[in-house]
């Protein structure tokens, strides 16, 4: 091992440089998230972004190559947060886990509306790369549901189709709700959780290997 490798592993110059780079990149993504929340993709230039971030334009090119790369990095960061929120309830009882997961999903959409819309609608002009990111987050959310309901991530085809139908309805409900927020989030959560329970019981009728969790006692 040479001296530069050792310095990188022991937390001195190379490691600190990496930490600073990661922190700067995260700051730029946070700035972009705020900018794209209020301004359309086409209306923002790299000069606008650099000015808002208080950095030289070249720094954004260094981290993200171009505006498209910057935009995709923002969407990927939003997806990571959304999935992390959905998967952070594994230690809770099943019913509470589902309620917390759905409420966290709605809370994220409520507070990051532009990012959420980009994720579920495909971004700028139904961007193929953003659609791929959306499909990946759907798959991860479906695995989270399956793990909570059946204790495994493998999903039979019929169950996958039914759960995908529920999840796309969640996206539609969420998009409508964040546009007006006329109904309390807790009510929307209860509506979606009830719909998931009904979907799981329907799956059980056709796929006995996927038994629905017991209804909560009232």
117-170 pLDDT tens trace: 877 876 555 577 778 888 888 888 888 888 888 888 899 999 999 999 999 999
CB 66 within 8 A of CB 93: no
pLDDT, tens only, 159-194: 999 999 999 999 999 999 999 999 999 999 999 999
Number of C-beta neighbours around residue 78 at 10 A: 22
Report, in angstroms and rounded to the nearest whole number, the Rg of the chain calculated over CA atoms: 21
pLDDT, tens only, 83-120: 776 666 566 666 777 888 888 889 888 888 877 887 78
Contacts of 38 (CB under 8 A, 6+ apart): 114
How far apart, in whole angstroms, are the C-alpha atoms of residue 107 and residue 116? Answer: 11
Q: How far is CA 214 from the centre of its chain?
A: 28
CB 35 within 8 A of CB 48: yes
Number of C-beta neighbours around residue 187 at 10 A: 10
Q: pTM, whole model, 2 decimals?
A: 0.72
What is each CA distance from 215 to 35, 95, 209, in whole angstroms?
Answer: 44, 9, 18
Q: Quickly list DSSP for 125-151.
A: TT-HHHHHHHHHHHHHHHHHHHHHHHS
| Proportion of the chain above pLDDT 70, given as a percent | 83
């Amino acid at each position: 091992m040479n001296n530069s490798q050792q310095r990188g592993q022991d937390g001195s110059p190379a490691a600190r440089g990496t930490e600073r780079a990661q922190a700067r990149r995260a700051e730029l993504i946070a700035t972009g998230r705020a900018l794209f929340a209020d301004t359309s993709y086409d209306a923002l230039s790299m000069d606008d972004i650099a000015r808002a971030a208080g950095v030289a334009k070249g720094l954004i090119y260094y981290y993200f190559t171009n505006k498209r790369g910057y935009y995709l990095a923002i969407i990927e960061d939003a997806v990571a947060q959304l999935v992390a929120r959905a998967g952070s309830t594994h230690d809770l009882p099943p019913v509470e886990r589902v309620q917390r997961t759905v409420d966290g999903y709605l809370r994220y959409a409520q507070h990051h509306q532009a990012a959420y819309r980009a994720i579920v609608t495909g971004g700028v002009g139904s961007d193929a790369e953003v659609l791929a990111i959306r499909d990946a987050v759907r798959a991860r959310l479906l695995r989270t549901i399956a793990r909570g309901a059946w204790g495994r991530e493998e999903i039979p085809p019929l169950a996958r189709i039914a759960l995908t139908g529920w999840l796309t309805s969640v996206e539609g409900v969420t998009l409508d709700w964040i546009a007006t927020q006329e109904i309390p989030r807790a009510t929307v959560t209860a509506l979606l959780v009830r719909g998931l329970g009904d979907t799981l019981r329907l799956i059980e009728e056709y796929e006995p290997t996927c038994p629905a969790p017991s209804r909560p006692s009232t």
